[in-house]
Amino acid sequence: MARNITPRADDYSQWYLDIIKAAELADYAPVRGCMVIRPTGYSLWESIQHHFDEAFKETGHVNAYFPLLIPNSFLEKEAEHVEGFAPECAVVTHAGGEKLEEPLVVRPTSETVIGHMYSKWIQSWRDLPILINQWANVMRWEKRPRLFLRTSEFLWQEGHTAHSTREEAMEETLKMLGVYARIMRDILALPVVEGEKTEGERFPGADNTYACETMMSDGKALQAGTSHFLGQNFARAFDIKFQNQNGDIEYAWTTSWGVSTRLIGAIIMTHSDDDGLVLPPRVAPVKAAILPISTNEEKIASTLLPRAMELSSELDRSLGGRCTMVDKQFYLRPGDRFFQHLQRGVPLRVELGEKDLAAGTARVVRRDSGEKMDIPLENLASRVPALLEDIQSGLFNRALAFRRKNTAVVTTYDEMKKVLEEKGGFVETWFAGSKDDEKKIKEETGATARCMPIDSPGEGTCFFTGKPGARKVIFAKAY
């Protein structure tokens, strides 16, 4: 049925791009590496934003906005940070018709400028914690761009918090990791693994980085979100100090955490099939498309369209929000209309033809399985919510089963190489190597340490160094 989508088995990369094109999610922009997020893609982003933003607010965070441009000298204040980000920066050298005294970088992330402001706002322990989030665009110049996964400009949220104690900052770091994991699992149907990053994969300037790692349908890993414990590194660099309850001056403890439009890439590569995009209902902006179908214009106007509009309102009410649409593209053939919603990943298609209406039913088609059902019109509003939930849990369970099937446990480097060569996927093992060891493994196998799962305590023997007391680590090739 896929008329313009390369089969996944033939060329995974092309399949991914074809899905995006067919669903009209995004386009490359005229500036190399940048993207245009088209209305279908942006409404998906708005839905993702909505769920995360609610969760941030429920956990006591507030939104704010910090400037796009950051003085170059700010980046240099934190040694690891500048080393990590400077090579990727876009730099403004002229403005208002003049050369600037100091070049300004377009923010690649905002720890530095936010740290600068926090140092002004924080004086006393009473000013803490500061729990701020920002929704913004950021820029990291990409040599090999890929829509949603690696673009020179992308949209994201970045949380930045400051605390009076190490414990509280660590608690925040893990709390937000948990918030991310919950939404990714419950709403985006991504069976993520929560874990700590190894030294070689940490955020530049962080003491610890935690991440949600998830497996794409080609077995490769994708980092879907990160939460950083920054210790006192940025507080020292930007002089974020406060007077504690005993009257002593201390440096604050800070965290940062972010998810981006990359999540759209994760959704595509987890759930979609050779017919196009498949969206988990809870994040789908349009959960059901209702299609009155007839060639008789009078019938459409007098009965089919009004009944379709009614059904749409009923469904919106039973689902609690505007999340259905009535397709009025009568100038297209029914097959083309079906196909459009299929390619855009709409979870349910509700067809309403003259015969259906005469029989008092609608033909409901599931996007995930293609299953067709004739459902009495009066039962539609009560049946659809459960159908959507069934699709939602089905997608999650399928992705989880896929990850489990494609996760191998190994104890030696030879085993690891064999698995990575022959079938890919996640490789679970014990590891106690250094940053250099990680580099070597990457060079030799293409795989990186994705994370040390937080729910896997215990110790083993390192597959690479033979050292005892090694932690459980997942290795995989990654996006």
Closest approach, Cβ 353 to its own copies, in A, equals: 23
Least distance to its own copies from the beta carbon of 397, Å? 32
Determine if 23 is a binding residue for its own copies (CB under 8 A). no
Secondary structure letter of residue 197 according to DSSP = P
* 78 is a site residue for its own copies (CB under 8 A): no
Contact between 354 and its own copies per CB under 8 A: no
What residues pair up with 214 in beta bridges, in sequence order? 222
Tell me the closest approach of the beta carbon of residue 377 to its own copies, in angstroms.
27
Residue partners of 339: CB distance under 8 A and separation at least 6: 1, 3
Q: Look-up: residue for tokens 């709390």? A: 175
> For residues 394 and 375, what is the distance between their CA atoms, to the nearest angstrom?
21
Least gap, CB of 204 to its own copies (angstroms):
16
**Residue 401 burial (CB count, 10 A):** 11
User: Closest by alpha carbon to 266, among 183, 377, 374?
Assistant: 183
237 binds its own copies (CB under 8 A): no
C-alpha–C-alpha distance, residues 292 and 25, integer Å: 25
Stretch that binds its own copies, among 68-76, 264-272, 368-376, 417-425 (CB under 8 A): 68-76
What would the two tokens of residue 79 be?
């040694």
Q: Report if residue 321 touches its own copies, rule: CB under 8 A.
A: no
**334 or 394: CB nearest its own copies:** 334
CB 151 within 8 A of CB 479: no
Residue 174, both tokens: 């893990």
C-alpha angle 170/172/177, rounded to 5°?
100
Q: Is 85 in the site for its own copies (CB under 8 A)?
A: no
Query: Which of 453, 1, 420, 445 is closest to 218 using CA atoms?
Result: 420
Q: With H, G, I as helix, E, B as strand and everything else as coil, classify residue 295.
A: coil
Q: Which residues inside 322-341 make contact with its own copies, applying CB under 8 A?
A: 331
Binding flag, residue 320, its own copies (CB under 8 A): no
159 DSSP 8-state letter: E
Which range touches its own copies (CB under 8 A), out of 8-16, 33-41, 184-192, 462-470?
Answer: 33-41
Which segments within 129-192 are labelled E, that is strand?
130-139, 153-163
Nearer CB in complex with its own copies: 89/452: 89
Residues 6+ apart with CB under 8 A from 86: 75, 105
Answer yes or no whether residue 87 interacts with its own copies by CB under 8 A: yes
Told to check if 242 binds its own copies by CB under 8 A, we report no
Quick check: 331 and 389 in contact, CB under 8 A? no
User: How many CB atoms are located within 10 Å of the residue 349 CB?
Assistant: 22
Query: Can residue 89 be called a binding residue for its own copies (CB under 8 A)?
Result: yes
Task: In angstroms, give the least distance from the CB of 160 to its own copies.
Answer: 12
In the complex with its own copies, the residue whose CB is nearer, 37 or 352, is 37
Q: Does 66 bind its own copies (CB under 8 A)?
A: yes
C-alpha angle 213-410-436 in degrees, rounded to nearest 5: 70
Residue 113 CB, shortest distance to its own copies, in Å, is 7
* Choice from 19, 44, 113, 162 touching its own copies (CB under 8 A): 113
29 binds its own copies per the rule CB under 8 A: yes
Give the span between the Cα atoms of 225 and 211, in whole angstroms.
Answer: 6
35 binds its own copies (CB under 8 A): yes
Site mask for its own copies (CB under 8 A), range 161-200, x = bound: ----------------------------------------
**Site membership for its own copies, residue 104 (CB under 8 A):** yes
Stretch in the footprint of its own copies (CB under 8 A) among 81-89, 224-232, 345-353, 403-411:
81-89
CA 434 to chain centre: 29
For residue 36, state whether it binds its own copies (rule: CB under 8 A).
Answer: yes
Q: By CB under 8 A, tell whether 451 contacts its own copies.
A: no
Q: Give the 3-state secondary structure of 210-260.
A: EEEEEECCCCCEEEEEEEEECCCHHHHHHCCEEECCCCCEEECEEEEEEEE
Q: Which stretch binds its own copies (CB under 8 A): 152-160, 293-301, 308-316, 445-453?
A: 152-160
* Interface pattern 393-412 for its own copies (x via CB under 8 A): --------------------
Q: 3 vs 120, which CB is nearer to its own copies?
A: 120
Should residue 63 be labelled a site residue for its own copies when binding is judged by CB under 8 A? yes
Q: Does 247 bind its own copies (CB under 8 A)?
A: no
Per CB under 8 A, does 144 bind its own copies? no
Among 427, 449, 453, 450, residue whose Cα is nearest residue 440: 449
Going by the DSSP 8-state scheme, the letter that residue 6 receives in this structure is -
What does residue 101 show for φ and ψ, rounded to 5 degrees? -65, -40
Which positions touch its own copies (CB under 8 A)? 27, 29-31, 34-39, 41-43, 45-46, 62-71, 74, 86-97, 103-104, 106, 113, 116-117, 120, 126, 132, 136-137, 139, 141-143, 152-153, 155, 331
